[in-house]
Every structure is written in structure tokens, then in C-alpha cells.
Amino acid sequence: MSSSLTNKLITVTGAASGIGLSTARILARRGALLSLADYNKANLTKAHEELASLSSPKNIISTPLDIRSTASVNDWISHTRKHFSRTIDGCANIAGFHPLWAPKNIEEITDEEFDETIQINTVGLFKCLRAQLAPDMLSSPSSIVNVGSVSGLIGFAGDSAYVASKHAAHGLTKAASKEAGKRGIRVNAVAPGQTNTPMVQAMAAGKGTLPLPFLSLGREGQPEEIAEVISWLLGEESSYVTGSIYRADGGMLD
């Protein structure tokens, strides 16, 4: 399949499951070179094997990664550039975390619960962006796509840690787009609504899910539907788009 992503070098965090794995599948099928990262080493190994069968083993590398670690993130981005002997064309920053507790008001949340959410969804994203935007790491033109959330667009009671972390992720996206634009680097974010991912399935055990009648389409999203938006933003077809937050929420906020 001819694609603007063919032979483009793209990094993907959160690549072992959910939206990250679906994105990696689409990119592999469209001929991209992939550097995959995920916190879950066992699932990452399985994902690597599957994706290598969709593309070619020489086109894919994978690295167990905790995005909270500055040294690990920097080493991963540097290794990606050195392994493929070229600058990076795109980055899909998809790794994220949602607390699995039942709804808690602000006064009920512990420091540890709040800090873990912020450290992964905000600080971890910042560390990825900082490494990716370092001199001589990205091509010009290139594209970065962060995964935010509808929770970064409005407030939800009982979910303040996640809401705060995703508002910050959207803010980082907009600031980075202003800083990197003159270098030919676009930075955008996708804001999924209720999506059928392992994280949402686990979360539902404690919280329940949003009633589907509140979604204009009457159903939850599938990871591959979000991944298609990410793929479009990574490709040349979206060459005049930057600093944008794209809702992919089935009409949840309408």
C-alpha cells in the first residue's frame, strides 16, 4: 500500500496494547520503520513479534521503557537515531496511566495517587518531548502526536488527577507546536473519548462506564479508530496542521 508513511522512522510509546498497539499495526502495514517502547516488557515482546510479521524484522526495534526516567527516555531516542542511522520522522506519544480507584473527590486523593498520575501522563510526556525535540533528533519536516483525552478538554467529577494530567498534556502540545514550528516540526494531540482499551476495561471494574446513549454514535470507540487519526496526523496529508487537539470521542462532548 502506497503511503506517505512508507520508510518513515516513527517512535511509539505505549506500543504493547490498546491505542499504541493499534497505531503500531497501522504504521507497520503502511511501511514505516518503528521504534517501539512500553513499560510492560512481556506484552512488548509479543507486540514486537506480531508487528515484525506485518512488516519486516529489520524495520522494527523495541525497548522496555519507563517514561518517568529521564536517562531511559534520552537513551531510547538516541538509540533509535543511531540504530537506523537517520533522524526520526515522527513520534506517537501514547503511553498513559489512569488510576483504577473508584471516583474520588479532590479531598480524598492521596499525594501518592495524584503524583503517579501526573508523573506518567504529564512529566513522562514532557520528558519524551524534550528528548525528541533535542537538536538533530527529528527530521524537517516531521510530526509529533501526543495522546490526550476528552478529560483534558472539560472537567469530570471524581477524576481530578487524570483531568489535570490531560489538561497539562494538551498545554504541552500547544506550547511545543509554537516552539518547534519554525524547525518544520508539527505537534498535535488526539483526545479520545471512551475507547475499548485494556486500560478502560480495567478502569470500568472500579468506576463503571459512561452510558452509551450519551455518545452521539451510541457506542464506544475502538483503538484502531483512534489510531487512524494518529496515523493521519503523522503523515504528510496533515502538513498544515499543528497545535491542534483532535477529538475522537464519538460525539461525547456534543
Closest to 35 in 3D by CA, of 60, 64, 69, 56: 60
- Quote the CA–CA distance of 11 and 32 in Å, as a whole number: 10
How many CB atoms neighbour CB 207 within 10 A? 17
Is residue 101 within 8 A of residue 208, CB to CB? The reply is no
By CB atoms closer than 10 A (0-12, 13-18, 19+), residue 163 is buried
The interaxial angle of helices 125-132 and 160-180, nearest 10 deg, is: 10
pLDDT, tens only, 151-191: 999 999 999 999 999 999 999 999 999 999 999 999 999 99
Count of alpha carbons within 13 Å of 195, Cβ hemisphere only?
27
- Quote the CA–CA distance of 28 and 207 in Å, as a whole number: 34
Cis peptide before 211 (omega within 30 of 0): no
The three-class DSSP label of residue 83 is helix
User: What's the mean pLDDT in 92-113?
Assistant: 93
Residue 41: all three cell numbers together: 516488557
What's phi and psi for 31, nearest 5 deg?
Answer: 90, 15
User: What's the mean pLDDT in 192-206?
Assistant: 75
- pLDDT value at residue 137: 99
pLDDT, tens only, 227-239: 999 999 999 999 9
pLDDT, tens only, 12-43: 999 999 999 999 999 999 999 999 999 999 99
- pLDDT value at residue 118: 98
pLDDT, tens only, 104-156: 999 999 999 999 999 999 999 999 999 999 999 999 999 999 999 999 999 99
Record the pTM: 0.94
Residue 20: all three cell numbers together: 499504541
Is residue 196 within 8 A of residue 202, CB to CB? The reply is no
* CATH placement of domain 9-248: 3.40.50.720
Residues carrying an active site annotation: 162, 166
The three-class DSSP label of residue 59 is helix
- pLDDT value at residue 1: 44
